[in-house]
């Protein structure tokens, strides 16, 4: 078998059913074999940024390995921003990048791929020879899972047509569930919780598998429940749910959090958004539980740090409380039974003749889009509002695409996420700037690959996040204003459907278009650039 075929077969043998990519002379035969000889699903992105981001969206939605392939040189340099996003978001991803023929000194596309990739924080795994290639591939996949970051497997093009004997390489991944490090820190944690008056349980993305155990712990110790933004809606429907803990907390939740004296955090990084710049943890005892030892104490010096799986540690704390007959330290009486789940704050409707208030439009579109959805956002001024106006069925359906703060990743991310949840529509909320940055080209990819994608563009005619900064300094904001084309017409020209929303009547048409959609749909919500200038937030 030729190496390009063997790599394609090995991907299939490792369970890679979907490959995102863009071909060039260093990977084209491998992609062709993956599709035609080994029956894999191949998604041909319009840009390598898109291909790599799609693999991240897939990894984030499925918990499986996301795989993208690109050719050498400029194709590989195009992946750098998504690789950093994947490193910061801790997503297991494999980037199969071809590399220039080793003897081809003057090749236009030659560049030191190792130096570039290592600088992103991603791992670099060179294929050392055709004979080691399958082993090198399995090591790269193993590393992607264990190190929870993208790993680039670098395959020199001159190896691709080498003859090799195919032999499947077995992959053994460590299993972490059930892990608890017993010892002083666990005793310490139990002591701190037992001595609390008003504990609160906080669950982050690393604890979204532990809902039942955390609800039981909440009942046992008398603590209300809260999540980080990335863990949002984990406790939806549970009693004593405070919703989001952090800068997006409701006033009721913030009041309860501030009045508490102990926070027990599970799988939460305790970053400045969760801690509300430290204000939500200052003066409290903090117990941090995380399966990743490196997360303990990284952003906040907790009073006790327990290394372990969230569900197992929560159950163990209950058991230790029962064994020692410790009474529930907290009482949840003052917290509303109904909870204080994430919800939009009140606002003054500033719709006018030509534009609609985005908060009103988002509220209405939230009802029109099926509740069993996947929710992805791009980034900009609109983002935090979209987080509170659109619901998700559970935290795993919520995608966070801005660990590196880049605009423009939303559309390709949504395309990748749709392969992780093929039975559900994917809702992407983006700004007009983000859509033009990286969404336009991959919207057509969604069309070609028949994705069930609904793109809501909050269109303020420019870069709103910058517009507010000009305004805050009493400067004119014309530099932030851009005369974009008509997005609905563009969406139709790209093979999808599109419509603009300026008023109530248009909202009703949008609801109908959502119900009848048969191809990717773009809803261009025309908003006044000064929409959040009245000081509602
Ligand atoms: C790659 C990249 N370029 C530039 C920026 C700076 N930036 C942050 S938000 C933003 C505005 C995006 O505009 P839009 O998508 O329309 O959202 P809005 O802020 O108007 O709601 C820009 C340009 C960035 N974060 N990432």
Spatial distance between the Cα atoms of 16 and 13, rounded to a whole number of angstroms: 7
Name the packing angle between helices 410-420 and 440-448 (round to 10°). Answer: 20
* pLDDT computed for residue 536 by the predictor: 34
* pLDDT surpassing 70 at residue 337: no
pLDDT band for position 66 (cuts 50, 70, 90): very high
Which among 80, 430, 436, 465 is the best mutation to test ligand 1's pocket, defined by most ligand atoms within 8 Å of the CB? 465
Most informative mutation of 80, 362, 381, 463 for ligand 1 (most atoms within 8 A of CB): 463
Does 339 score more than 70 pLDDT? no
pLDDT band at 535 (very low <50, low <70, confident <90, very high): very low
Taking residues 377-405, what's their average pLDDT? 95
pTM for the complete prediction? 0.95
Say if CB 456 and CB 484 are below 8 A apart: no
Mean pLDDT confidence for 430-442: 97
Report the pLDDT value the prediction gives residue 304, as an integer from 0 to 100: 97
Q: Which residues contact 197 (CB under 8 A, 6 or more apart)?
A: 261, 262, 329, 330
Q: Average pLDDT in the 491-519 region? A: 98
- Using a 10 angstrom Cβ sphere, with 0-12 exposed, 13-18 middle and 19 or more buried, the burial of residue 468 is middle
With pLDDT > 70 as the criterion, what percentage of the chain qualifies? 96
pLDDT average, residue stretch 409-431: 98
Give the model's pLDDT for residue 239. Answer: 87
**Residues with Cβ within 6 A of ligand 1?**
379-382, 405-408, 431-434, 458, 460, 463-466
pLDDT-wise least confident of 36-40, 69-73, 171-175, 208-212: 171-175
pLDDT of residue 178: 76
pLDDT band of residue 533 (cuts 50, 70, 90) is low
CB 27 within 8 A of CB 96: yes
Q: Which residues, in sequence order, are bridge partners of residue 305?
A: 288
Q: Distance, CA 443 to ligand 1 centroid (Å)?
A: 18
pLDDT tops 50 at residue 120: yes
Q: Is the pLDDT of residue 383 over 60?
A: yes
Name the residue at shortest CA distance from atom 4 of ligand 1.
407
């Amino acid at each position: 078998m030729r190496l390009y075929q063997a790599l394609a077969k090995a991907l299939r043998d490792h369970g890679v059913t979907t490959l995102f990519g863009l071909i060039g002379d260093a990977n084209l035969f491998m992609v062709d074999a993956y599709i035609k000889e080994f029956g894999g699903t191949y998604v041909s992105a319009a840009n390598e940024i898109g291909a790599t981001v799609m693999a991240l969206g897939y990894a984030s939605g499925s918990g499986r390995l996301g795989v993208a392939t690109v050719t050498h040189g400029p194709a590989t340099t195009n992946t750098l921003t998504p690789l950093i996003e994947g490193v910061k978001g801790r997503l297991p991803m494999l980037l199969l990048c071809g590399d220039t023929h080793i003897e081809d000194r003057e090749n236009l596309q030659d560049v030191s791929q190792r130096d570039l990739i290592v600088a992103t924080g991603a791992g670099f795994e060179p294929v050392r020879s055709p004979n080691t290639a399958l082993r090198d591939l399995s090591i790269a996949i193993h590393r992607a899972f264990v190190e929870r970051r993208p790993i680039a497997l670098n395959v020199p093009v001159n190896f691709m047509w080498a003859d090799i004997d195919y032999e499947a390489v077995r992959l053994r991944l460590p299993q972490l569930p059930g892990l608890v490090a017993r010892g002083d820190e666990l005793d310490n944690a139990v002591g701190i919780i037992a001595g609390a008056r008003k504990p609160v349980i906080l669950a982050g993305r690393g604890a979204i598998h532990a809902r039942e155990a955390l609800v039981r712990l909440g009942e046992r110790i008398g603590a209300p429940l809260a999540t980080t933004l990335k863990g949002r809606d984990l406790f939806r429907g549970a009693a004593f749910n405070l919703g989001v803990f952090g800068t997006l907390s409701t006033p009721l939740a913030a009041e309860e959090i501030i009045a508490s004296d102990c926070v027990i955090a599970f799988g939460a990084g305790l970053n400045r958004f969760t801690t509300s710049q430290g204000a939500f943890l200052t003066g409290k005892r903090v117990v941090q539980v995380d399966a990743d030892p490196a997360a303990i104490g990284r952003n906040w010096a907790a009073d006790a740090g327990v290394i372990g799986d969230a569900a197992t540690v929560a159950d163990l704390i209950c058991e230790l409380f029962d064994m020692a007959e410790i009474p529930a330290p907290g009482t949840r009486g003052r917290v509303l039974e109904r909870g204080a789940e994430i919800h939009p704050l009140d606002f003054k409707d500033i719709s006018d003749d030509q534009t609609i208030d985005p908060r009103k439009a988002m509220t209405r579109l939230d009802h029109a889009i099926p509740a069993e959805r996947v929710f992805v956002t791009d980034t900009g001024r609109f983002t935090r509002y979209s987080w509170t106006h659109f619901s998700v069925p559970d935290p795993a359906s919520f995608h966070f695409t801005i660990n590196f703060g880049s605009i423009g990743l939303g559309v390709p991310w949504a395309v990748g996420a749709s392969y992780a949840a093929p039975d559900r529509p994917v809702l992407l909320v983006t700004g007009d700037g983000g859509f033009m940055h990286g969404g336009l080209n991959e919207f057509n990819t969604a069309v070609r690959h028949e994705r069930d994608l609904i793109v809501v563009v909050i269109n303020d005619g420019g870069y709103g996040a910058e517009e507010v900064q000009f305004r805050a300094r009493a400067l004119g904001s014309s530099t932030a204003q851009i005369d974009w084309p008509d997005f609905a017409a563009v969406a139709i020209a790209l093979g999808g459907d599109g419509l603009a929303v300026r008023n109530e009547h248009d909202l009703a048409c949008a609801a109908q278009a959502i119900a009848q959609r048969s191809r990717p749909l773009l809803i261009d919500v025309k908003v006044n650039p000064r929409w959040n200038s009245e000081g509602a937030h």
